[in-house]
């Protein structure tokens, strides 16, 4: 049977999400335009596709096979009664279409039910849809399992840091004297004294022009979660000056730190750069505007500082440094942060068990990159009928 062109309005029912105050209190996931935000004791829909409709995450696609709540910055798509279509296939079809390209709005991108209902797509027979969805779902399951493994390792890494460097229950603590609140031989150093340099990020140009001739990726604050899990597909490729490349190009053990964001919770997000990230991004990668590049003295200071930033986010000590702004762009007291103390052990080998966990995370991240890229290469070929299934 041939593949047919079908109008969206014949396939889907469209609904808008709704605002909710019921987070972290129930069993049902709450989807926003950037994924699961928390959990609720109430739900709106079941077995549907969630599409981000506005702003930076306009056009994002999620599928929930069970009951869920969707916030008011999403549109929910369900298969119409009587229409033969596999909802998982439809999710992959929407990914392939890159819905953000259809968004309207000059100040910020916006998708509406009217825009979506006017689109068309190609639909193969239902049996073919199910086979395609099974193939791509197998990749997604592997990706999800690796992401869960990384999260478990990340939690273990942070628990070790808290136990050893905050609670001071490090190996050998029973016989180590505590002097002025710190173990004998250890020292407190300000963040500033742990760094070689700091510099703001850049943005460059869309196309080569004038002195902007050097091609390089730009890691934004919004890219930090994706890059951490080995997904580089949305990291923009732009053009930079020779000076920007010389002063801002990322190196192994650099830390990208997000300084400013409309969502105050996102301020302080950070990314410890490793060699696999540099290989994946290619030459001349830099951090974006609204971020800061931190270059620690060495690998040990990089790991300590990265873990301290994570601990500050988790225990609330970073919150006083976050500043609300009237224009909606929240900022960070970076000078105050530079004076924050971190604890440095007298023997850097104490960090070896934590470093081992970090290496495992890096290896899993690289596996995720390869899986994600293989899936992304396969997706259009399957969705266009180029590969028979």
CATH number of the structural domain spanning residue 53: 3.90.220.20
98 in a structural domain: yes
Question: Is the same domain home to 173 and 99?
Answer: no
Question: Is the same domain home to 270 and 234?
Answer: yes
140 in a structural domain: no
CA distance 1 to 264: 52
Q: Is this prediction's pTM over 0.85?
A: yes
Question: Is the same domain home to 109 and 26?
Answer: yes
328 in a structural domain: yes
Question: Is the same domain home to 191 and 254?
Answer: yes
Question: Is the same domain home to 114 and 223?
Answer: no
CA distance 11 to 6: 8
> Is the Cβ–Cβ distance between 276 and 270 less than 8 Å?
no
Let me know how long the chain is. Answer: 389
Question: Is the same domain home to 118 and 177?
Answer: no
Q: What DSSP element (H or E) covers 360?
A: helix 352-383
Question: Is the same domain home to 70 and 171?
Answer: no
Helix (H, G, I), strand (E, B) or coil at 38: strand
Question: Is the same domain home to 22 and 71?
Answer: yes
Between the alpha carbon of residue 207 and those of residues 151, 156, 200, 201, 296, the distances in Å are 37, 43, 22, 18, 32
342 in a structural domain: yes
CA distance 223 to 201: 14
222 in a structural domain: yes
173 in a structural domain: yes
Question: Is the same domain home to 91 and 8?
Answer: yes
What are the residue ranges of helices labelled H in 176-274?
224-228, 242-248
| Per-residue model confidence (pLDDT) at position 94 | 96
> Is the Cβ–Cβ distance between 49 and 111 less than 8 Å?
no
206 in a structural domain: yes
| Per-residue model confidence (pLDDT) at position 1 | 59
377 in a structural domain: no
Question: Is the same domain home to 114 and 212?
Answer: no
Question: Is the same domain home to 336 and 214?
Answer: yes
Number of domains the chain is built from: 2
Question: Is the same domain home to 270 and 194?
Answer: yes
| Per-residue model confidence (pLDDT) at position 267 | 94
| Per-residue model confidence (pLDDT) at position 173 | 95
* Structural domain for 285, as ranges: 149-349
| Average pLDDT along the chain, 389 residues, taken 10 residues at a time | 89 93 83 90 95 91 96 96 94 94 86 95 94 97 96 97 97 95 96 98 96 97 94 95 97 97 89 97 95 97 98 94 81 95 95 97 96 94 88
């Amino acid at each position: 049977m041939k593949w047919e062109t079908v109008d969206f309005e014949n396939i889907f029912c469209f609904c808008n999400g709704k605002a909710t105050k019921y987070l972290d209190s129930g069993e049902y996931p709450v989807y926003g335009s950037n994924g699961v935000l928390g959990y609720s004791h109430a739900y709106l829909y079941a077995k549907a596709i969630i599409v981000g409709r506005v702003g930076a995450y306009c056009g994002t696609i999620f599928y929930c096979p069970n009951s869920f709540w969707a916030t008011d910055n999403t549109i929910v798509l369900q298969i119409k009664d009587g229409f033969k279509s596999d909802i998982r296939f439809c999710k992959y079809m929407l990914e392939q279409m890159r819905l953000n390209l259809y968004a309207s709005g000059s100040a910020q991108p916006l998708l509406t039910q009217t825009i979506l209902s006017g689109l068309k797509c190609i639909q193969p027979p239902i049996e073919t849809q199910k086979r395609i969805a099974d193939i791509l779902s197998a990749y997604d399951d592997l990706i999800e399992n690796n992401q869960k493994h990384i999260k478990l390792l990340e939690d273990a890494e942070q628990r070790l840091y808290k136990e050893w460097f905050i609670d001071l229950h490090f190996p050998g603590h029973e016989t180590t004297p505590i002097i002025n609140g710190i173990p004998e031989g250890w020292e407190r150093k300000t963040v500033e004294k742990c760094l070689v340099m700091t510099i703001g990020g850049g943005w460059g140009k869309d196309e080569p022009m004038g002195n902007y001739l050097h091609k390089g990726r730009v890691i934004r604050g919004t890219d930090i979660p994706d890059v951490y899990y080995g997904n580089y597909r949305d990291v923009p490729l732009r053009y930079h000056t020779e000076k920007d490349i010389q002063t801002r190009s990322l190196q192994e053990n650099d830390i990208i730190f997000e300084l400013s964001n409309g969502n105050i919770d996102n301020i302080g997000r950070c990314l410890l750069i490793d060699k696999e990230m540099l290989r994946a991004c290619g030459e001349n990668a830099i951090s974006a505007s609204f971020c800061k590049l931190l270059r620690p003295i060495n690998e040990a200071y990089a790991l300590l500082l990265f873990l301290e930033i994570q601990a500050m986010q988790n225990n609330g000590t970073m919150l006083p440094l976050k500043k609300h702004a009237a224009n909606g762009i929240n900022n960070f007291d970076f000078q105050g942060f530079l004076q924050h103390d971190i604890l440095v052990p007298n023997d850097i080998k104490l960090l070896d068990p934590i470093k081992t966990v970090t290496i495992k995370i890096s290896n899993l991240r690289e596996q995720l990159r390869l899986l994600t890229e293989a899936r992304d290469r396969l997706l259009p070929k399957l969705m266009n009928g180029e590969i028979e299934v």
